[in-house]
């Protein structure tokens, strides 16, 4: 028998086996290198608002427009004087432009149809807004503003609103903590699965939420932004994909 004819099929068989092993290892490597783990990191932080906004509305009625305007301007001056006396500087006070409404005494028949409309005067309205970092002062003011009633000024007081002027810094801090939390979660899962992390693939920031402390508020898809509580809680999530070794 020709030895050459014997070795040819043997060599071909060995080559096929080696090729299969190499391909198998390469396939395993590609499969493992493409394996990822997805985790969501969470970060929360309690903080106190550093800006308060309070406002109110007032109005005057008169048959003659000029008279109504004069009365409203008197009220505006009295309100400003009152606020100044309580320690609120003019730079923190803003009065809106005046709005006007014509009033009519309307009469209707038994079917509800209007049969006449007699002019009864004008109603002029204005708004005042106070924006300050002196939160305790403005809070106290918003409760005592009814003192103006003694001066004949009907000022309808709104509830104070609370804001924070360093939201960008707060958000960056929360993102850093959320990233750290996500990595810890991923490392724990990987370790318990007998592997380890190779590197970051992608990170997606979730919705930034601000709720009142101890307030029963529901997170919304578009983000919650509480303005009614002085003490708030900010939270953010970060969805992270890691590649496994």
Q: Please state, in angstroms and as integers, the Cα–Cα distance from residue 17 to each residue in 5, 7, 31, 106, 218, following that order.
A: 19, 15, 21, 100, 62
d(CA 155, CA 140): 16
Pick the CATH number of 35-48+166-244 from 3.40.50.1100, 3.30.110.170, 3.40.50.2300, 3.10.20.90: 3.30.110.170
Which pLDDT score, from 0 to 100, does residue 4 have? 47
Which pLDDT score, from 0 to 100, does residue 115 have? 83
Which pLDDT score, from 0 to 100, does residue 34 have? 58
Each residue's pLDDT tens digit in the chain (245 positions)? Answer: 444 455 455 444 444 444 444 444 443 444 444 589 999 999 999 999 999 999 999 999 999 999 999 999 999 999 999 999 999 999 999 999 999 999 999 998 888 888 889 999 999 999 999 999 999 999 999 999 888 988 889 899 999 999 999 999 999 999 999 999 999 999 999 999 899 999 999 999 998 999 999 887 777 777 889 999 999 999 999 999 999 98
Protein fold of 53-161: Alpha-Beta Plaits (3.30.70)
d(CA 230, CA 160): 9
Q: What is the pTM of this model?
A: 0.78
Question: What three-state secondary structure class fits 89?
Answer: coil
Domain segments of the chain: what residues?
35-48+166-244, 53-161
């Amino acid at each position: 028998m020709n030895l050459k004819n014997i070795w040819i099929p043997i060599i071909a068989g060995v080559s096929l086996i080696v090729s299969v092993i190499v391909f198998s290892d390469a396939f395993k490597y590609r499969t493992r290198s493409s394996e990822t783990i997805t985790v969501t990191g969470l970060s929360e932080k309690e903080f106190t608002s550093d800006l308060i906004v309070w406002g109110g509305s007032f109005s005057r009625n008169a048959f003659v427009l000029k008279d109504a305007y004069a009365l409203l301007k008197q009220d505006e001056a009295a309100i400003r004087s009152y606020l100044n006396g309580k320690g609120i500087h003019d730079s923190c006070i803003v009065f809106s432009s005046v709005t006007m409404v014509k009033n009519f005494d309307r009469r209707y028949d038994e079917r509800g149809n209007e049969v006449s409309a007699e002019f009864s005067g004008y109603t002029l309205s204005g708004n005042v807004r106070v924006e300050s970092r002196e939160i305790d002062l403005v809070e106290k003011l918003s409760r005592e503003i009814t003192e103006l009633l003694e001066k004949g000024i009907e000022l309808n007081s709104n509830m104070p609103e609370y804001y924070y002027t360093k939201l960008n810094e707060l958000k960056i801090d929360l993102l850093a903590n959320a990233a750290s939390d996500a990595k810890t979660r991923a490392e724990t899962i990987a370790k318990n699965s007998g592997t380890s992390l190779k590197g970051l693939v992608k990170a997606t920031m979730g919705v930034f939420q601000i709720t009142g402390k101890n307030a029963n508020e529901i997170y919304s898809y578009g983000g919650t932004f509480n303005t009614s509580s002085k003490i708030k809680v900010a939270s953010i999530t970060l969805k992270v994909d890691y590649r496994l070794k």
